[in-house]
Amino acid sequence: MTKRKIINDPVYDSFLSIDDPVILSVVEHPWFQRQRRIKQLGLTYLVYPGAMHTRFSHMLGALNLMGRALEVLRQKGVKITDDECRGAKLAILLHDIGHGPFSHTSERVLVDVPHEEITLLMMQRINKEMNGALNTAIEIFANRYPKHFLHQLVSSQLDMDRLDYLGRDSFFTGVSEGIVGTDRIISMLNVHDDELVIDEKGIYSVEKFIISRRLMYWQVYMHKTVIAADNLLLNILRRARELNLSTFNFELSTFDLDRFAEVDDDDIMVAVKHWQHSDDATLSTLCRNMVNRRLPAIRFSNEPFEGVETDYFHGTGQLHNRSYDFNDQEIKVLYKDGRCLPISEASDQLDRHFLEKQVTKYFYFYPKANV
Amino acid sequence: MTKRKIINDPVYDSFLSIDDPVILSVVEHPWFQRQRRIKQLGLTYLVYPGAMHTRFSHMLGALNLMGRALEVLRQKGVKITDDECRGAKLAILLHDIGHGPFSHTSERVLVDVPHEEITLLMMQRINKEMNGALNTAIEIFANRYPKHFLHQLVSSQLDMDRLDYLGRDSFFTGVSEGIVGTDRIISMLNVHDDELVIDEKGIYSVEKFIISRRLMYWQVYMHKTVIAADNLLLNILRRARELNLSTFNFELSTFDLDRFAEVDDDDIMVAVKHWQHSDDATLSTLCRNMVNRRLPAIRFSNEPFEGVETDYFHGTGQLHNRSYDFNDQEIKVLYKDGRCLPISEASDQLDRHFLEKQVTKYFYFYPKANV
Amino acid sequence: MTKRKIINDPVYDSFLSIDDPVILSVVEHPWFQRQRRIKQLGLTYLVYPGAMHTRFSHMLGALNLMGRALEVLRQKGVKITDDECRGAKLAILLHDIGHGPFSHTSERVLVDVPHEEITLLMMQRINKEMNGALNTAIEIFANRYPKHFLHQLVSSQLDMDRLDYLGRDSFFTGVSEGIVGTDRIISMLNVHDDELVIDEKGIYSVEKFIISRRLMYWQVYMHKTVIAADNLLLNILRRARELNLSTFNFELSTFDLDRFAEVDDDDIMVAVKHWQHSDDATLSTLCRNMVNRRLPAIRFSNEPFEGVETDYFHGTGQLHNRSYDFNDQEIKVLYKDGRCLPISEASDQLDRHFLEKQVTKYFYFYPKANV
Amino acid sequence: MTKRKIINDPVYDSFLSIDDPVILSVVEHPWFQRQRRIKQLGLTYLVYPGAMHTRFSHMLGALNLMGRALEVLRQKGVKITDDECRGAKLAILLHDIGHGPFSHTSERVLVDVPHEEITLLMMQRINKEMNGALNTAIEIFANRYPKHFLHQLVSSQLDMDRLDYLGRDSFFTGVSEGIVGTDRIISMLNVHDDELVIDEKGIYSVEKFIISRRLMYWQVYMHKTVIAADNLLLNILRRARELNLSTFNFELSTFDLDRFAEVDDDDIMVAVKHWQHSDDATLSTLCRNMVNRRLPAIRFSNEPFEGVETDYFHGTGQLHNRSYDFNDQEIKVLYKDGRCLPISEASDQLDRHFLEKQVTKYFYFYPKANV
């Protein structure tokens, strides 16, 4: 009897059912299980209490969508072998495995290695352990596989990663503005000249997807209070490093994959709780503020803040967001008559002017008391 | 014991609970009950089978939202008397009562009186029957009431009508792209200088609302097949009128409110079924096509169709949509510091260029066989 | 290029995608399209305004579930040929095609032929038109096909019909108590000794399904006010028949399938509106009450009402509901160790005592005024 | 300007809006914020990956429901003063504040004080800090307040605690079987002779609530794999205690509220990770199994397991569940005619036989390898 795992995912009505033994092995791997202890949205739960969901659940969600996408493409006559199917599924399943705790923040202080690189290192190690079962997956992930569209399903402006996280983050934060017509977009996927494209009928759904992503940026990902909390954690980690207290620093030259894989959100939070009792007044104050959610005040502006203090309690920074990236490959629309146009030409409303527009915001955070 | 009516509405989690005897009387009025037999989206159910919802349910839904909005405004310190509350509720409850069957279509053939005018006539008649209980409601509806913002809750670019129908149409069609953060928008409403405004924090939700409305336009309200079906019905009604078969024609000079109030969707569809057996080959063919859902083929284009046939089976037309109407009063955003800016200035992304853009499409429909 | 139809269904997250040309032809058949004009729940919309959904949408929804169920069974190794797949899909698609308007009510006055019989007649006629394409479907529907479990998917205590209508009616009425874990139940289906069974893990979901069905009975299907409305319509049709006004009577001896197929909800409602102006005072009063939703008062009791008036305005009746039918084939649970037990033995809680219990209620309706 | 906090809760469509300064202070209290780091369902996320929701979100959700319930009761004419409103809200807000990490498990090893007692101690300390602002809340919580029904809203068979957690746990696990008609139940609440009762019309919703709770028991709360994981953690904590490694032990005689309040889920998980490297082979093996989710196998039976090994890797236990507790005060139904009956008499289906039935299951867990 085949082993089969059925996993409930509140985001999608349908169950995720896994019976491929290779995929099951990967899901059971300690490095994959570790992602149960890393929240997808870091400190965002301090603003949206529901946002406790993990990278583990996102990676399984992306796998779910990949399965559906491959099925749709096959039904439309796109040739995809069973080995390629498994490869694409494993690639999306593992695409975030290199993330460390609070990676948004920690990459700037703790870890001197980009998470994409760590992901590849981890995939290679798991591949060795599994005698090459991930060969195709790694080729697809690294964009070296001949059928280019498979990589695009994993990483492009319309990949299964983004489709899942937008829907998932929207679901768990309760920000209904981010809801995406996932099912419709997937049913409209197609392949044309080895490129992932969207059928003509899906054009409004893709417009909506681009807009939703932008709205989620400012309403969730770059929410003022989240940025304030991120900066508080950043300064805690900086101060701890300066005092040689942190054991979470990783550098490229001495990078130890196994040690890295042991660190998760829990370790950071326990250290922060511990450092509340530090002799260093700066560190202990910062940590007490974090533990008890006394976050800095923060102001946003369209102009840079100048001549303001910066220390462990005050600071500035900038954020920017563009709906869409022209440097990246454009999303393309396939018409019934065979034409294939980039969305910036196909869309009546989301023209180049709109899509190119980049919004930059500057912020200044400071202790709440002395406003 | 007070009489109380609790009505289930699948669109909103919360029940609609009515205990105001005046509002209950209006809901029980035959002209209001008649709206149970008029579908909100006319022939759209031929494309989206779930879209059978009625104007009756929309009018109650808008009442529900109005109740919540008035409560939010009062909690923020806006002075609204009990009489004004009832007036605003009655105004939104009755705002669509003048609609006839398939009014989108029928106003062009059958009824020579705009539905807004019929609505006012009906409100006045009900008011007389109820000894003036609708006085305030009519003032608010007709925008003659001193507190201007009450009218804006009933009719403006951000009124309870639009908030309800966008959410409702999205729910029943299953087009998740149209989902609006209704609850969030309502919780962000405010009044400034007697104008309905939105609190600063609600800006992204309003952006999303504008975008959703535009997407619903092309994905639902002006869906190709819906336009094809509308034109088929239009030509049936035209032909029947020409043959002096239609009893549904209403003209301003002889307008009879009571007779008008007897006609609903069912009458039109039964007539169409009946005319399938007409001696007139044109009419009978058109009617059989409608009853059996053999809809015309249709093409959309950015340029007008020229030199094409137009008769009862072929025709052209144009559609246009703008996200937002500058002629109308602009949606305004109220900042914490007291400034109040139109959304076209307040929004980083939905600038004037975007908001002003009007999309016009031309269509040509023709029998499916002879493509 | 294959023709493909994608249909939005708000009840399920996933689209219904049809590309089988036989199934597409059946969906396009006038008799199938006619079901767009027959509401699934008759007059229930007078209590739950959202309940305007049609038999058309239910039949497509059941098709959707059948597709998923067949896929699950195949993945578990159950042998189902492509012809059987199509047959089971067509059987469920057409299982309700013989329903007339308000069939709950009309079968008692208008139509002297049970709807199951009409369904079979219609399937046979369509089969003839389509040169035998429905042969397997008819065998499955009529329970003459060797693989018995295929019929059970169409008609049994756990069939795709019930699964769809419970979820659908719950969705459109907004009665969340009726929500069923459709997806979970389907994923737990299996076949054992040519019988449709449920895997051990699905036992709680089946318990919930039985309970939900019972709750929907009293909260929706036999809601007091719905019963009152049904009886009002019943008496209208009776009176009209007596006066030889009705053209909707069908008898077995002279049954005319084509004429029957022309009648739908709209005809009944238009006749009722027309009869408001009848010379017969009884009929015109009843009809005005219906059109303006002045429904009779109604009382329920555990004992029969005795010695009460019965005429066109007063009457009695009885309703009964059992959670589960022992005369029907029992739902069976398949254990990992190979045992297969009826749910009445497998369930810890829903024992025979619970499942056998039948609830009977008696009602008496009478004009609201003279209570 | 009043300070106001608006909190998104994905479980409910409506926002939680708090503007009472006392409630805001309590929410900002470090002991309340600490509940952000304690998961509502302990290790259940190992089976249902979505179940990462915290006690913090549950306590706010219960506050939300309490606000709605008080409003409904006031609208029905029940006299509730503003002080009582605040008291009831604070009581439900704090009803779970004494929970420690994995309290289901830890109360059996770590903490020798029942969580209800700790809750009361914490409420009293916060009350002292806030100069008696919690006086009424504590009276209500401890069931010493004259208006008894206020305590019943906080703790009874139909309290806001259960209503929230059933809905919440169902939402985050994705087990749709647990969905409760929360809004309907709340709208049907009433008070009769100082007792919380349910209006006649709400009887089916209460039946559904009782059933849902039971189903959630076996499908979620006592899911086999969750029980296996709980027992693994239990044995880790036992072994660590034996080795004098645990710093999480609390006894009544020396109970230190401040130290207790510093411990949360993160500390336990970091300790478990740390103990993977213990010299004690038993402890290190157990901990590696936990971290990498290598859970014990487990079997359930209706009979006790006898003659089986019990050590740190094998063990037995029993679970029981009754739908409903007759020792507790029964849920009562208020009829329109003034009668008030316990649900066991009012319900046609959930009779005493059903409600009294208690299900007991026995389990045996053991290492997966040597089955």
CB contact under 8 A, C208 and D215: yes
pLDDT, average across residues C358-364: 91
Distance CA C268, CA C272 (A): 6
CB contact under 8 A, D349 and C354: yes
Distance CA A340, CA A319 (A): 34
One digit per residue, pLDDT tens: chain D, 371 residues? 567 888 999 998 768 889 899 999 999 999 999 999 999 999 999 999 999 999 999 999 999 999 999 999 998 999 999 999 999 999 999 999 999 999 777 777 777 788 889 999 999 999 999 999 999 999 999 999 999 999 999 999 999 999 999 999 999 999 877 777 888 899 899 999 999 999 998 888 888 888 888 888 888 999 999 999 999 999 999 999 999 998 787 777 778 899 999 999 999 999 999 999 999 999 999 999 999 999 999 999 989 999 888 999 999 999 987 667 766 678 999 998 899 999 888 887 777 777 877 889 999 999 987 43
pLDDT, average across residues B304-317: 92
Contacts of D267 (CB under 8 A, 6+ apart): A270, A273, D101, D248
Does residue B57 surpass a pLDDT of 60? yes
pLDDT, average across residues A131-138: 98
At residue C225, the pLDDT reads 96
Tokens of B291: 């009853």
In this prediction, residue C370 has a pLDDT band, given cuts at 50, 70 and 90, of very low
Distance CA C56, CA C45 (A): 16
- Asked casually if ipTM beats, i.e. exceeds, 0.90, the reply is yes
Number of neighbouring beta carbons within 10 Å of residue B250: 19
List, for residues C322-338, the tens digit of each pLDDT value: 666 766 678 999 998 89
List, for residues C276-287, the tens digit of each pLDDT value: 999 999 999 999
Instruction: Report in angstroms the alpha-carbon separations of A307 from A232, A314, A367.
Output: 21, 12, 17
- Name the nearest CA neighbour of C136 among C58, C23, C59, C29: C23
At residue B218, the pLDDT reads 83
Does residue B357 surpass a pLDDT of 90? no
CB contact under 8 A, B50 and C273: no
Which of A173, A175, A179 best tests the B interface by mutation, with the highest count of B CBs <10 A?
A179
Using N-to-C axis directions, what is the helix angle for C160-173 and C203-216, rounded to 10°? 60
Contacts C60 to B, Cβ<8 Å? 49
Please spell the DSSP secondary structure of C71-94, one letter per residue: HHHHHTT----HHHHHHHHHHHHT
Strand order in D315-322's β-sheet? D297-301, D358-366, D315-322
Which of D13, D48, D211 best tests the C interface by mutation, with the highest count of C CBs <10 A?
D211
Identify which of A94-103, A315-324, C312-321, D22-31 has the greatest average pLDDT: D22-31
In this prediction, residue C132 has a pLDDT band, given cuts at 50, 70 and 90, of very high
CB contact under 8 A, A177 and B208: yes
Does residue A117 surpass a pLDDT of 60? yes
Element (H or E) spanning B192, and its range? strand B189-192
Number of neighbouring beta carbons within 10 Å of residue A224: 18
C312-316 long-range contacts (CB < 8 A, ≥24 apart) are C312/C235, C312/C238, C312/C239, C312/C282, C312/C286, C313/C235, C313/C286, C313/C366, C313/C367, C314/C364, C314/C365, C314/C366, C314/C367, C315/C231, C315/C235, C315/C364, C315/C365, C316/C362, C316/C363, C316/C364, C316/C365
Number of neighbouring beta carbons within 10 Å of residue D301: 12
CA–centroid distance for B229 within its chain? 18
List, for residues B100-116, the tens digit of each pLDDT value: 998 777 777 777 788 88
Q: Kindly report the nearest CA distance between residue A175 and chain B, in angstroms.
A: 8
Strand order in B189-192's β-sheet? B189-192, B195-199, B332-334, B340-342
List, for residues A265-282, the tens digit of each pLDDT value: 999 999 999 999 999 999
Whether the CB-CB separation of C154 and C286 falls below 8 Å is answered with: no
Does residue B12 surpass a pLDDT of 60? yes
CB contact under 8 A, B8 and C291: no
Number of neighbouring beta carbons within 10 Å of residue D242: 13
Q: Kindly report the nearest CA distance between residue D233 and chain C, in angstroms.
A: 25
At residue C226, the pLDDT reads 96
Instruction: Report in angstroms the alpha-carbon separations of A300 from A15, A363, D115.
Output: 42, 4, 43
3-state secondary structure of C366: strand
In this prediction, residue B322 has a pLDDT band, given cuts at 50, 70 and 90, of low
Strands, DSSP E only, in C139-192?
189-192
Distance CA D109, CA D114 (A): 12
List, for residues B227-239, the tens digit of each pLDDT value: 999 999 999 999 9
C30-35 long-range contacts (CB < 8 A, ≥24 apart) are C30/B291, C30/B292, C30/C261, C31/C97, C31/C122, C31/C126, C31/C261, C32/C56, C32/C59, C32/C93, C32/C94, C32/C97, C33/B291, C33/B292, C33/B293, C34/C261, C34/C264, C35/C59, C35/C96, C35/C97, C35/C99
Strand order in A189-192's β-sheet? A189-192, A195-199, A332-334, A340-342
Tokens of C93: 């698609």
Which pTM value belongs to this model? 0.88
List, for residues B346-355, the tens digit of each pLDDT value: 887 777 777 8
List, for residues D53-73, the tens digit of each pLDDT value: 999 999 999 999 999 999 999
Does residue C2 surpass a pLDDT of 80? no
Distance CA A99, CA A159 (A): 18
Number of neighbouring beta carbons within 10 Å of residue A41: 24
At residue B371, the pLDDT reads 36
Instruction: Report in angstroms the alpha-carbon separations of D324 from C127, D207, D212.
Output: 54, 11, 11
Please spell the DSSP secondary structure of D75-141, one letter per residue: HTT----HHHHHHHHHHHHTTTTT--TTHHHHTTTTB-S-HHHHHHHHHHHHHHHTTTTTHHHHHHH
Nearest CB to A293 within list D33, D39, D292: D33
Distance CA C194, CA C191 (A): 6
Superfamily of domain B5-366: Hypothetical protein af1432 (1.10.3210.10)
3-state secondary structure of A320: strand
3-state secondary structure of A2: coil
Tokens of D37: 């780091």
CB contact under 8 A, A183 and C15: yes
pLDDT, average across residues B252-256: 80
Distance CA B233, CA B239 (A): 10
Q: What are phi and psi of C204, to 5 degrees?
A: -70, -35
At residue D228, the pLDDT reads 96
Q: Percentage of chain B surpassing pLDDT 90? A: 67
Instruction: Report in angstroms the alpha-carbon separations of C328 from B194, C117, C137, C324, D64.
Output: 67, 19, 22, 9, 45
SS3 for B269-331, per residue? Answer: HHHHHHHCCCCCHHHHHHHHHHHCCCCCEEEEECCCCCCCCCCCCCEEEEEEEECCCCCCCCC
Mean pLDDT of chain A: 91
Using N-to-C axis directions, what is the helix angle for C265-275 and B265-275, rounded to 10°? 110
Q: What letter represents residue D61's amino acid?
A: G
Q: Give the chain B residue nearest D4 (alpha carbons).
A: B76
Distance CA D363, CA D222 (A): 11
Mean pLDDT of chain C: 91
Does residue C65 surpass a pLDDT of 90? yes
Using N-to-C axis directions, what is the helix angle for B224-242 and B265-275, rounded to 10°? 70
List, for residues B113-129, the tens digit of each pLDDT value: 888 899 999 999 999 99
In this prediction, residue A98 has a pLDDT band, given cuts at 50, 70 and 90, of very high
Whether the CB-CB separation of C118 and C31 falls below 8 Å is answered with: no
Say which residue, C321 or C25, is predicted with more confidence.
C25
At residue B2, the pLDDT reads 63
Q: What are phi and psi of A351, to 5 degrees?
A: -80, 180
Tokens of A303: 């102009």
Nearest CB to B12 within list D6, D13, D187: D13
Nearest CB to D177 within list C208, C351, C354: C208
B307 class by beta-carbon count within 10 Å (0-12 exposed, 13-18 middle, 19+ buried):
exposed
At residue A110, the pLDDT reads 75
Instruction: Report in angstroms the alpha-carbon separations of A80 from A16, A67, A69, A94, C75.
Output: 21, 12, 11, 20, 20
Q: Give the chain C residue nearest D174 (alpha carbons).
A: C181
List, for residues D270-309, the tens digit of each pLDDT value: 999 999 999 999 999 999 999 999 999 999 998 999 988 8
List, for residues D175-212, the tens digit of each pLDDT value: 877 777 888 899 899 999 999 999 998 888 888 888 88
pLDDT, average across residues C305-315: 92
List, for residues C160-204, the tens digit of each pLDDT value: 999 999 999 999 999 877 777 888 899 899 999 999 999 998 888
Mean pLDDT of chain B: 91
At residue C327, the pLDDT reads 67
Q: What are phi and psi of C161, to 5 degrees?
A: -60, -55
Q: What letter represents residue A209's amino acid?
A: F
C311 class by beta-carbon count within 10 Å (0-12 exposed, 13-18 middle, 19+ buried):
exposed
At residue A322, the pLDDT reads 67
Does residue B1 surpass a pLDDT of 60? no
CB contact under 8 A, C183 and A14: yes
List, for residues A179-231, the tens digit of each pLDDT value: 778 888 998 999 999 999 999 988 888 888 888 888 888 889 999 999 999 99
Contacts A12 to C, Cβ<8 Å? 13
Q: CA geometry: angle at D59 spanning D53 and D62, to 5°?
A: 110
At residue A255, the pLDDT reads 82
Number of neighbouring beta carbons within 10 Å of residue C296: 21
CB contact under 8 A, A15 and C187: yes
Nearest CB to A187 within list C6, C12, C75: C6
- Name the nearest CA neighbour of B52 among C64, C301, A135, C9: C9
CA–centroid distance for B248 within its chain? 21
pLDDT, average across residues B190-214: 90
3-state secondary structure of A99: coil
Distance CA B173, CA A204 (A): 15
Where b means 16+ CB within 10 Å and e means fewer, B145-182 reads bebbbbbbbbbbbbbbbbbbbbbbbbbbbbbbbbbbbb
At residue C275, the pLDDT reads 96
Does residue A351 surpass a pLDDT of 80? no
Instruction: Report in angstroms the alpha-carbon separations of D237 from C72, D98, D105, D110.
Output: 42, 20, 9, 8
In this prediction, residue B370 has a pLDDT band, given cuts at 50, 70 and 90, of very low
Which residues of D touch chain C, with CB atoms under 8 Å apart?
175-177, 179-181, 184, 204-205, 207-208, 211-212, 214-215, 218-219, 323, 348-349, 351, 353-354, 357, 359
